[in-house]
Amino acid sequence: MSNQGYEEELRSERGYVAQLYARLDAERARVRGEYRTALRDHGGTAVERDVDVRALAREAKRLDVADNGLCFGRLDSISGERSHIGRIGIFDEDDDYEPLLLDWRAPAARPFYTATGANPENMRRRRQFHTRGRELSGFTDEVLGRPGGDAQGDAALLAAVNAPRGEGMRDIVATIQAEQDEIIRLDHPGVLVIEGGPGTGKTVVALHRVAYLLYTQRERMERHGVLVVGPNPAFLNHIGRVLPSLGESDVVFMTTGDLVPGKHVTAEDPPEAARIKGSLKMLDVLTAAIADRQRLPENPVPIELQDVVVRIDAETAEWARQEARDSGLPHNEARAVFTEIVTYVLTERAIARIGKGWLTRADKEAWEQLRGDLIKELAENDAFTTTLDELWPVLTPESLLAPLFSSAERLRAAGADQALLRTDGDAWTVSDVPLLDELVDLLGRDKSADRQAAREREREAEYAEGVMEILSFERHDMMDDEDHLLAQDLIDAADLADRFGQRDTRDLAERAAADRDWTYRHVVVDEAQELSEMDWRVLMRRCPSRSFTVVGDLAQRRSEAGARSWGAMLEPYVPGRWVYRSLTVNYRTPAEIMAVAGAVLAEFAPEIEPPDSVRACGVRPWSRQVCADGLAAAIEEFTREEADREGTCVVIGPPDVPGTVPASETKGLEYDAVLVVEPERILADGPRGAAELYVSLTRATQRLGVLHEGPLPQALSGLAEAERV
């Protein structure tokens, strides 16, 4: 295309994009107007109004994300049809809703990502736009169906991967590659495992898959939402913009330490304790620990009633305990069975003594009257209640687990390893979270708390009824019959419930995050190789349909409780319902840096092939040996130099080196420049250390440096040695 032809095409495309933005702005104004009207409208019930308001709020959010790069390309078919591709769909209401802009997830948009010179899929041209905000600055064309022609299809991709990193992960909606698109659109109802080495884009592919599923299965998914589980808060913050930028907000982001509502746990156990807690063998330990709290009295316990003294002996408690256990109910709910048996025995004994000589079973009415009086007296007897609490206490997950971990005797009684012993029982770690969650089901709810909540609701209902009576106006108090008003004219029952009840105004993500029993329609698990068997039990409970996108890299596993194979971890939960896909192209890490990281990988996981880098950066990674006194100055020099450059940087090193962050806190993140400090000390931490070093080296997109005080590990001998400090 001549330069003049290009400029004419660019002006035409700019005009078309401007029309799209005009349509977008008009649609935004319409939705916002309807939203304001819905907020003021008092017609219909409160529930109906709430549904309307929430739907309009979601639509407003969807439209608000499209400002930056609304339209990012065009497809020209062999038959001459043109389709513009963008973040959302826009239709011409004046022309039978003809599409002006195709949503990137629509089936008709797929050739934009999958058509090639050898397989053009009936397409003649793929045009990729270069934009800044709303401004179209240029475009590149790829002519399809002519292998070896003037294709420039990699231009947009290379521009994206070479661009300086900003705050947070960016979506790849404009540059999805065919390998990635196949996974994003894969029609599989079970568990999809996406494995890929550093820089292959597995995380962002998983997030785009979520956006695709929400687009194609919105009715099924939007009422329950999607859960995204990541390795640490920094990672979740890093990826948090991707789905909102694609118009999706009904998503909950958590680490495994957040899966029990009300807790935000980040501390980690030593490797051996983490391995033990992550094993399914802990189920037997928890069951035994609960059984250990279901006690028998060493000596008969006297209970003084008004007319008689009765005793709870070991025989009675053992019978009651066995009946409660045989009920199959969770511990707290089975307490009612235990209490019922003990109460029965004590009342029988009391009746036999009180009624001796005058009361027989033939006198049923008197017998039942006396029994009822004794049952009531026992329920109000402090000694009886205290004894029940000692023999069959109401337990919470915390009140069971904390004493267990702080007592060698309790650990022995539960058959647990003494490696779990700690001084502070409730100093919770990430490995404790699945145990606490498991105990919610094993212990069950405390029915007394439910009864208290029911009484509170009854009091609220009585109060609301009183308010209605006060608001009621008698006919003779009005000016005349025609002007008569009743309370119902001013406020309906739904409005009253809104004002005096506890109406939930939180959005879906807030409600889901706060509800332990919430179930999601789909779950994304990133860095999934780190999850234990017990972690997976928690997540399977959260998603009964077993619809998962699992993302990970076994070569990067650092947890002793994590996955060594996907089949071993998943097959027990979804036998035959999981599929595996791999990503083989490294879009983030340049070839120069990947060569260094690959040498480390070859030493600790020689069976794993590193991903192929799609580009080179032209900058060779370097190393510099420093003395102990020069380490801080060298780190400061690196950060000062990088501060003058565009982009991001990080210093990764052992936890005790000032100015560094551990590799575990950088998993899934990317930076323009990375400085790795003391690699020999990172590597010395066994198999986990090798994985940590591999992660550290593969965070950089442009520049990598290494500082070392001692000898450089053999695997890093390929680094260019800089001047010693």
Query: Which residue, 556, 524, 562, is CA-closest to 204?
Result: 524
508-533 residue pLDDT tens: 888 999 999 999 999 999 999 999 99
Residue after which a domain boundary falls, among 96, 122, 145: 145
Which tokens is 213 given? Answer: 């599923």
pLDDT for the residue 624: 94
- Do 639 and 500 share a structural domain? no
Q: How far apart are CA 374 and CA 291, in angstroms?
A: 30
Q: How far apart are CA 522 and CA 283, in angstroms?
A: 26
Those residues with Cβ within 8 angstroms of residue 705's Cβ, 6 or more apart along the chain or in another chain? 621, 622, 623, 624, 638, 673, 674, 675, 676, 722
Which tokens is 261 given? Answer: 């509502």
Q: Would the pLDDT of 160 be above 90? A: no
577-614 residue pLDDT tens: 999 999 999 988 999 999 999 999 998 889 988 999 98
Which tokens is 24 given? Answer: 């977008």
pLDDT for the residue 463: 56
- Do 630 and 600 share a structural domain? yes
Which tokens is 41 given? Answer: 């409208």
86-96 residue pLDDT tens: 999 999 877 77
Average pLDDT (397-407) is: 97
Q: How far apart are CA 332 and CA 324, in angstroms?
A: 10
pLDDT for the residue 450: 54
- Do 343 and 457 share a structural domain? no
459-503 residue pLDDT tens: 655 555 555 455 454 444 544 444 444 444 444 444 544 444 455
On whether the CB atoms of residues 112 and 106 are closer than 8 A, the answer is no
- Do 429 and 382 share a structural domain? yes
- Do 501 and 402 share a structural domain? no
pLDDT for the residue 355: 75
Any domain includes 563: no
Any domain includes 572: no
- Do 290 and 422 share a structural domain? yes
Q: Binding residue per annotation — 357? A: no
Q: Binding residue per annotation — 199? A: yes
**11 or 2, which is more confident?**
11
pLDDT for the residue 602: 93
- Do 59 and 116 share a structural domain? yes
Structural domain that includes position 686: 591-721
On whether the CB atoms of residues 259 and 517 are closer than 8 A, the answer is no
Q: How confident is the model at residue 457 (pLDDT cuts 50, 70, 90)?
A: low
243-281 residue pLDDT tens: 877 777 788 999 999 999 999 999 999 999 999 999 999
Residue after which a domain boundary falls, among 113, 145, 177: 145
Residue recorded with tokens 């008092």? 42
pLDDT exceeding 90 applies to what percent of the chain?
62
The torsion defined by the Cα of 680, 686, 688 and 690, in degrees rounded to 10, comes to 40
Beta bridge partners of 255: 230
Query: Which residue, 677, 695, 509, 520, is CA-closest to 597?
Result: 695
694-719 residue pLDDT tens: 999 999 999 999 999 999 999 998 88
Any domain includes 523: no
Q: What is the mean pLDDT of the chain?
A: 87
3-state class (DSSP) for residue 305: coil
Q: Binding residue per annotation — 197? A: yes
pLDDT for the residue 485: 41
Any domain includes 378: yes
Residue recorded with tokens 């068997």? 533
Q: Binding residue per annotation — 196? A: yes
Q: How confident is the model at residue 147 (pLDDT cuts 50, 70, 90)?
A: low
608-643 residue pLDDT tens: 889 999 889 999 999 999 998 999 999 999 999 999
- Do 417 and 308 share a structural domain? yes
Any domain includes 568: no
| Secondary structure in 3-state letters for 410-426 | HHHHCCCCHHHCCCCCC
- Do 396 and 501 share a structural domain? no
Residue after which a domain boundary falls, among 110, 145, 180: 145
Which tokens is 662 given? Answer: 């551990």
Q: Binding residue per annotation — 653? A: no
Query: Which residue, 526, 244, 293, is CA-closest to 407?
Result: 293
Any domain includes 219: no
Our count of domains for the chain comes to 4
- Do 135 and 17 share a structural domain? yes
- Do 43 and 136 share a structural domain? yes
Q: Binding residue per annotation — 647? A: no
Average pLDDT (119-133) is: 91
DSSP summary character for residue 706: E
Question: If 0-12 CB within 10 Å is exposed, 13-18 middle and 19+ buried, where does residue 175 land?
Answer: buried
On whether the CB atoms of residues 317 and 392 are closer than 8 A, the answer is no
pLDDT for the residue 38: 82
On whether the CB atoms of residues 694 and 668 are closer than 8 A, the answer is no
pLDDT for the residue 163: 66
- Do 491 and 396 share a structural domain? no
Q: Binding residue per annotation — 198? A: yes
Length of the chain (residues):
725
On whether the CB atoms of residues 699 and 666 are closer than 8 A, the answer is yes
Query: Which residue, 245, 325, 297, is CA-closest to 68?
Result: 245
In Å, what is the CA distance from 117 to each residue of 76, 142, 145? Answer: 14, 9, 4
283-317 residue pLDDT tens: 999 999 999 999 999 999 999 999 899 999 999 99
Those residues with Cβ within 8 angstroms of residue 447's Cβ, 6 or more apart along the chain or in another chain? 332, 333, 336
17-66 residue pLDDT tens: 999 999 999 999 999 898 888 877 756 666 677 778 878 887 887 788 77
Any domain includes 205: no
Any domain includes 224: no
Those residues with Cβ within 8 angstroms of residue 88's Cβ, 6 or more apart along the chain or in another chain? 62, 63, 65, 66, 70, 101, 103, 247
Q: Binding residue per annotation — 200? A: yes
